[in-house]
Chain A
Amino acid sequence: MKQHYVLILVLFGMFLLPAQAETPDEKGLQIATEADQRDQGFGDSTATMHMVLRNKRGDESSREVRVRTLEIEDDGDKSMSIFDAPADIKGTAFLTFSHINKPDDQWLYLPALKRVKRIASKNKSGPFMGSEFAYEDISSDEVDKYTYKYLRDETWEGMECYVVERDPVDKHSGYTRQVVWYDKAEYRPQKVDYYDRKNEHLKTLTFHEYRQYLDKFWRGMRYEMVNHQTGKSTTLSWKEYVFRSGLTDRDFDKNTLKRAR
């Protein structure tokens, strides 16, 4: 009889062990961490971002922004956006120190006013320059900004992908959850579904034309965001990516905002 009990226990253990080894939460976190790891060490980057906004009627409008990013260890990245077009906001510069557990520090230089303004706002969920991208959609992806849950494997556009749900930690986020498709080959996000506060599908972001820089860092050259509720959409195109051009903290200082060109 005793031997039977042992056998049953062993059998139970065999079923339980793999599940204990990796819960969906752990696997999700592991995938997100791996994706983050693979992008670490880029140092700094600059690029030009071209935005095309479209409304339901098909009217279009475009914006152009140069973006400089400085990688910061153990915190969110620092970034500087310099607006080039339309002409009436040319020279406007936006500096962000993004943080994981507290509101970002944000400064904006308004050339027409010749002043730097600090913006104290918890909001990252509003539209960026009137587009379908929220500021939180394009600010730096830090692992700790979300909790994760691995959902399934799935083939998307011919790529084997991990499908991972991530829930924003920030209660001011505009989303209840996001579902991300990472390709298994390179752990690059290929697609993100955004779910609004009532957990309904709001937007879909897809990444296109991935290019590798410095034999390591992948960047999508084109982002397509579609808002399913309003019928509006935005295309982001990236050009002129340069890595490790030697940017330092001094280039991301609010006192240098005015001189940002």
Chain B
Amino acid sequence: MGKSYGEWLVRWRYLVLVAVIASVAIAASGARFLTFKTDYRVFFSTDNPQLQAFEQLQNTYTKTDNVLFVLAPKDGNVFTQETLASIIALTEASWQIPYSIRVDSITNYQHTEAEGDDLTVDDLVPDAGQLDAGGLERIRNIATNEPLLVNRIISPDGRVTGVNVTVQLPDPEEQTGKEVPKVTAFARNMVDELRAANPDLDVYLTGMVIMNNSFPEVSIRDQQTLVPIMFAVVVITLVLLLRSFTATIGTFLVIVCSVLTAMGIAGWLGMALTPPSASSPTIILTLAVADCVHILVSFLHAMRRGLDKTGAMVESLRINLQPIFLTSLTTAIGFLSMNFSDAPPFRDLGNIVAMGVMAAFFISITLLPALMLILPVRVKPGATNHSRRMDNFADFVVERRNFLFFAVGFIVVALVIFIPRNELNDEFIEYFDKTVDFRNATDFSSENLTGIYTIDYSLSAGESGGISEPEFLDRVEAFANWYETQPEVLHVNTLTDIMKRLNKNMHADEPEWYRLPDQRNLSAQYLLLYEMSLPYGLDLNNQIDVGKSATRMTVTVKNISSNEMLALEGKAQEWLHENAPGMRADGASPSVMFAHIGHRNIRSMLTGTSVALVLISLILVVALRSIKIGLISLVPNLAPAAMGFGLWGLLVGEVGLGLSVVTGMTLGIVVDDTVHFLSKYLRARREQQLAPPDAVRYAFSTVGTALWVTSLVLIAGFMVLTQSPFKLNSDMGLVTAITIAFALIADFLFLPPLLMKVDK
């Protein structure tokens, strides 16, 4: 089959060249439909229960997407005329931020004060210009003692403050992708102006909107830096290995066309880019090299042996067509296993790369040979150093097979026992490394003002108006108090703090009345009064549902790992179960969603990886026409990922969303080495009737070079990914690179001894 195909190709080479380029152009033109997703929610499938809980909460109250300006005066004191004036101006200006619906700051905080039977409701700082030292001190006292503000809008020591802008973006389906960048650009411009106007003020910008905007920013940065590096790596490797200008150009064209085709089809299919799926060009680039290397190494090898160009290409296609097809198929299956992931960006990544891999297969058996036949190719005849070295290496493996079998076997086991040391963690702030502004601003905020991780509860009183029931308010307060005592907690935003303050105001500001009202009617009437005195945007709709039957409590926590987050929420559930079973509610928030996503993904990816493993093993059994060899192949196919995660457990010990897909993905890649090695081994056993040791030698001498070169390119490629500022990509790249290195070790040092032991 391979031979007749080769002859067909030789005859129709010009037509093939034109047809392939035309097809690629049509496919690639779809790339214009590609857009970037600017919403952390894309990491969650629509049926994700935590996402649904959070959406429900947001639809009951108001959304919590926000922009947070963090202000740190250099003199360490927020309560000066100048700084307060800046905050007033910033608060005013923040209402102009697109999609803003609410602005909270210490200056527009609605302070309530009683004087006899008069209740005054006003901005805490209506005008900074008239404040004397006493006035400033009074404001400091109020602000730093107000539970609604401390650790949320003002630091307890009054050194750092924030202006929090709640942004209501259109529903995800209605978004055009321009909303988040628009909000971010507006806010950044405000920051620039603020810095220029007030050089004594350090300003940081964080919040969920800024995080959302950081996704495309890191993706674009990846495209601009990683892809060129990857191209450079590939070209250098090819020049060194192939020592042929034409071959290098050909390979370069194949990988460019593969990437363009895959990204173009992704565009036609309406996929949107996220940081994980935006790394597909780098991965496709890496994987596409392998096909070309196999074809070109054989082709150049045949020419060096003295065959003419046409004959050499026919021969190369004959021996490579089947293994390349097989390895492309298994690689594609490995990536397609990502469809089991709960996180759609990884499904997209898997699908785009799978398309890229198949495109690379077709292009490298059409465009590449056609080009080689058309362009001039010159080689120096004679054996290369590579193959001589490979022969020596083969001798070493055959001679020391017993030692290698046990030594490598021991290393495998030694690494695998460290797998359980891996702990799940998805702290979404740490998805961004410290070269990203958002990360630094958020770290500063967490250390000095307030955290970005929250847990929200919709506590239901069970009946319309029920939030005013004294019993219910008591339970809410007890729950809030319990949370306040947890060491991880920075702030608890609860309605009960407002109720207590109002009760005090209604009793001429007598401190002993700072407690919850003891009658339902009283609470309800206080709320009515208070709501009528609040200005636009500062209402209670973000804390009370329309039926006044439920209230939202927001707990802000420090930067804790997702395991700690889940543990804290677990303890809260226990508390609710024991103390307030009636108002039980699941914690819902982006942090809770991300805390669960690692678990959910690993569970779903286990299924995906198993399906991929079964499929790939079946393909190997059929293709190699041997159940025994198919089963043997399981060892070098599975061991590398296990070793990789063992080493990771030993060195890092933290896995998350990005790593949950690695096993399935690497399975498809590492199988390639096994396929190439085993197919050559079996060819030697069957066609040339060689004994296992000689068959091993044959396999090394025919594919050894190609294997280590392709592995090297793959390792280099995934190491390039580790330079991504986006942790999901960089971790995935690193573990994949490690796994591929282990796969090479397994295929070179463990598979041959295993074959010689078992295949007799």
Contact = CB atoms under 8 A, between A and B. Distances in A.
B96 A53 contact: no
A92 B528 contact: yes
A127 B541 contact: yes
Contact of B528 (A56, A59, A129): A129
Contacts of B60: 55-57, 59
Contacts of B531: 126-130
A149 B338 CA distance: 59
A87 B465 contact: yes
B533 A121 contact: yes
Given A89-B525, A92-B525, A117-B506, A197 B546 contact: no
Nearest to B116: A118
Contacts of B46: none
Contacts of A73: none
B524 interface: yes
Interface stretch (A4-12, A18-26, A104-112, A210-218): A104-112
Interface stretch (B242-250, B381-389, B515-523, B752-760): B515-523
Contacts of A92: 525, 528
B117 interface: yes
A256 interface: no
Interface in B88-142: 95-101, 110, 117-122
A69 to B, nearest CB: 17
A127 B119 contact: no
B522 A112 contact: yes
Contact of A111 (B525, B535, B541, B546): B525
Contacts of A130: 531, 539-541, 544, 546, 548
B52 interface: no
Contacts of A174: 535-537
Contact of B118 (A56, A61, A87, A120): A120
A94 interface: yes
Interface in B515-569: 519-526, 528-529, 531-541, 544-549
Contact of A198 (B100, B118, B465, B524): B100
B59 A56 contact: yes
Contacts of B465: 86-88
A197 B567 CA distance: 43
A90 to B, nearest CB: 8
- Among B95, B96, B528: residue with most chain A CB under 10 A: B528
Contacts of A198: 95-98, 100
B189 interface: no
Interface in A184-240: 196-198, 200, 229-232
A55 B168 contact: no
- Among B525, B531, B534: residue with most chain A CB under 10 A: B525
Interface in B440-487: 464-465, 468
A55 B545 contact: yes
A137 to B, nearest CB: 11
B4 interface: no
Interface string A223-261: 000000111100000000000000000000000000000
A125 B548 contact: no
Given A112-B519, A127-B539, A118 B118 contact: yes
A129 B465 CA distance: 12
A117 B547 CA distance: 25
A116 B506 CA distance: 10
Contacts of B506: 110, 113, 115, 117
A164 B444 CA distance: 49
Contact of B532 (A120, A128, A172): A128
Given A120-B120, A126-B539, A232-B546, A89 B532 contact: no
Nearest to A174: B536
A123 B126 CA distance: 13
A125 B546 CA distance: 18
A89 B521 contact: yes
Nearest to B549: A61
A220 to B, nearest CB: 23
A54 B122 CA distance: 29
A119 interface: yes
Given A53-B546, A57-B60, A230-B101, A123 B525 contact: no
Contacts of B99: 200, 229
A126 B547 contact: no
Contacts of B117: 115-118
Interface in A83-107: 83, 86-89, 92, 94, 106
Contact of B96 (A106, A115, A119, A197): A197
Nearest to B469: A88
B533 A126 contact: yes
Contacts of A53: 546-547
A146 interface: no
Contacts of B96: 197-198
A110 B529 contact: yes
B56 interface: yes
A61 B548 contact: yes
A92 B522 CA distance: 10
A111 to B, nearest CB: 7
B119 A120 contact: yes
A134 interface: yes
Nearest to A61: B547
Contacts of B545: 55, 59, 61
B546 A54 contact: yes
A134 B536 contact: yes
A60 interface: yes
B62 interface: yes
B546 A119 contact: no
- Among B99, B121, B529: residue with most chain A CB under 10 A: B529
Nearest to A136: B536
Contacts of A116: 117
A135 B532 contact: yes
B524 A86 contact: yes
A122 interface: yes
Given A86-B524, A197-B95, A59 B535 contact: no
Contacts of B532: 94, 106, 108, 119, 126, 128-129, 135
A88 B520 contact: yes
A116 B525 CA distance: 12
B747 to A, nearest CB: 56
Nearest to A118: B118
Contacts of B535: 122-123, 125-126, 172, 174
B120 A83 contact: no
B525 A61 contact: no
A32 B8 CA distance: 85
A125 B544 contact: no
Interface string A25-64: 0000000000000000000000000000111110111000
Contacts of B534: 123, 126-127
Contacts of B523: 88
A118 B118 CA distance: 5
Interface of B: 56, 59-60, 62, 95-101, 110, 117-122, 168, 464-465, 468, 506, 519-526, 528-529, 531-541, 544-549
27 contacts: A54-B546, A55-B546, A61-B549, A86-B548, A92-B528, A94-B532, A106-B532, A113-B506, A117-B118, A117-B119, A117-B506, A118-B118, A119-B119, A119-B529, A120-B120, A123-B534, A126-B533, A126-B539, A127-B541, A130-B541, A196-B95, A196-B536, A197-B96, A197-B536, A200-B98, A229-B168, A230-B541
Interface of A: 53-57, 59-61, 83, 86-89, 92, 94, 106, 108, 110-113, 115-123, 125-130, 134-135, 172-175, 196-198, 200, 229-232
A-B pairs with lowest CB-CB distance, top 4 = A174-B536, A125-B536, A88-B524, A126-B534
Given A89-B521, A196-B536, 18 more contacts: A53-B547, A55-B59, A57-B60, A88-B523, A89-B524, A110-B529, A112-B519, A112-B525, A117-B506, A120-B122, A126-B536, A129-B528, A175-B536, A197-B536, A200-B99, A230-B168, A232-B541, A232-B546
